[in-house]
Chains A and B, each alone.
Chain A
Amino acid sequence: DAKTTQPTSMDCAEGRAANLPCNHSTISGNEYVYWYRQIHSQGPQYIIHGLKNNETNEMASLIITEDRKSSTLILPHATLRDTAVYYCIVRVGTGNQFYFGTGTSLTVIP
C-alpha cells in the first residue's frame, strides 16, 4: 500500500523550475524514496531516488527533509515533454515492492 500523499495536479510554465512535493510521514529508517513519471499510455520512467541526502542527476534533483517525512522533486527547467504524472514512492523495505499512489499530474504550459 502506498505510503505517500501528493497533490493531484500542478501547472508549471515552460522554462521554469517545477517543484513537486510529496509527504511520507510514516517512512521507516531504511526505506528509500523513489520518483517515477508516466507519460500517457507508456510504462513509468525512473527519475531519481534517495535515502536521506539530497540527490541530483541529469533529470532532476531530490530534496529530502531532515526528518525524512517529506521530499520535493525539482525539474530545474521544465519543458513541454515533462508533462506527465509524477509518482513519489516509498519502497517497502522487506519485499522490494514499489506501491504507486495517485501521483501528481504535471502540466507544463507554453
Chain B
Amino acid sequence: GAVVSQHPSWVICKSGTSVKIECRSLDFQATTMFWYRQFPKQSLMLMATSNEGSKATYEQGVEKDKFLINHASLTLSTLTVTSAHPEDSSFYICSALEGHQNTEAFFGQGTRLTVV
C-alpha cells in the first residue's frame, strides 16, 4: 500500500511552547488529509479534515486556534499544537486520501507528544 510518513515519531516539549507535526504522503498525491488524536486505551478521535489549498474543517469541540492545520501541498500537511499543556499529551495520527472516493485512507505511524 501507499506510504504516509509522520515526523517526528515522538516529541517532548515544555508547557507553553508550540509543536509542529508533519504528515507526508510519499508516493501519491493526497487531496484530503485527516488528523486524529488517541488517548491511552481509547479509540482514534477525528480532529479535523483538511483539503489541499483550503481551510481545515474541525470536528465539534476541537479548538481551531489551538490545533493549527496547514495543507499547503498535495503531499504535506502539518499540525501545530500551540501553547501546549500537559493535557495535550497524546498520540497524534494523520491519514491521507488519494483523490477519488471509495478508496482506502493510509495512516502515518503516529507521533507521541508529551508535554512536561
Does residue A28 face the partner (Cβ distance < 8 Å to B)?
no
- Per-position 1/0 for B24-67, Cβ under 8 A of A: 00000000101010000001111001000000010000000000
User: A43 to B43, Cβ gap below 8 A?
Assistant: no
Does residue A68 face the partner (Cβ distance < 8 Å to B)?
no
**Which of chain B's residues has its CB closest to A85's CB?**
B43
User: B109 to A42, Cβ gap below 8 A?
Assistant: yes
* Residue in A36, A96, A100, A103 whose beta carbon sits within 8 Å of that of B97 in the complex: A96
* Residue in B45, B108, B110 whose beta carbon sits within 8 Å of that of A41 in the complex: B110
- Per-position 1/0 for A36-62, Cβ under 8 A of B: 101001111110010100000000000
Question: How far is it, in angstroms, between the C-alpha of A44 and the C-alpha of B94 when the chains are bound?
Answer: 10
Question: How far is it, in angstroms, between the C-alpha of A51 and the C-alpha of B103 when the chains are bound?
Answer: 11
* Residue in B34, B91, B105, B112 whose beta carbon sits within 8 Å of that of A46 in the complex: B105
Residues of chain A having any CB pair with chain B under 8 Å: 32, 34, 36, 38, 41-46, 49, 51, 87, 91, 95-103
Q: Given known contacts A101-B43, A103-B43, is B101 in contact with A96 (CB within 8 Å)?
A: yes
Q: A-side binding surface: helix, strand, loop or mixed?
A: loop
Which range contains the number of B residues in contact with the other chain? 20 to 34
Question: Closest approach, in angstroms, between the C-beta of A107 and any C-beta of chain B?
Answer: 15
Residues of chain B having any CB pair with chain A under 8 Å: 1, 4, 6, 32, 34, 36, 43-46, 49, 57, 91, 93, 95, 97, 101-102, 104-110, 112
* Residue in B46, B104, B107 whose beta carbon sits within 8 Å of that of A99 in the complex: B46
Question: How far is it, in angstroms, between the C-alpha of A46 and the C-alpha of B109 when the chains are bound?
Answer: 13
Question: Closest approach, in angstroms, between the C-beta of B23 and any C-beta of chain A?
Answer: 10
User: B108 to A43, Cβ gap below 8 A?
Assistant: yes
User: B110 to A42, Cβ gap below 8 A?
Assistant: yes
User: B49 to A96, Cβ gap below 8 A?
Assistant: yes
* Residue in B32, B104, B109, B110 whose beta carbon sits within 8 Å of that of A34 in the complex: B104
Question: How far is it, in angstroms, between the C-alpha of A91 and the C-alpha of B49 when the chains are bound?
Answer: 14
* Residue in A36, A95, A100, A103 whose beta carbon sits within 8 Å of that of B49 in the complex: A95
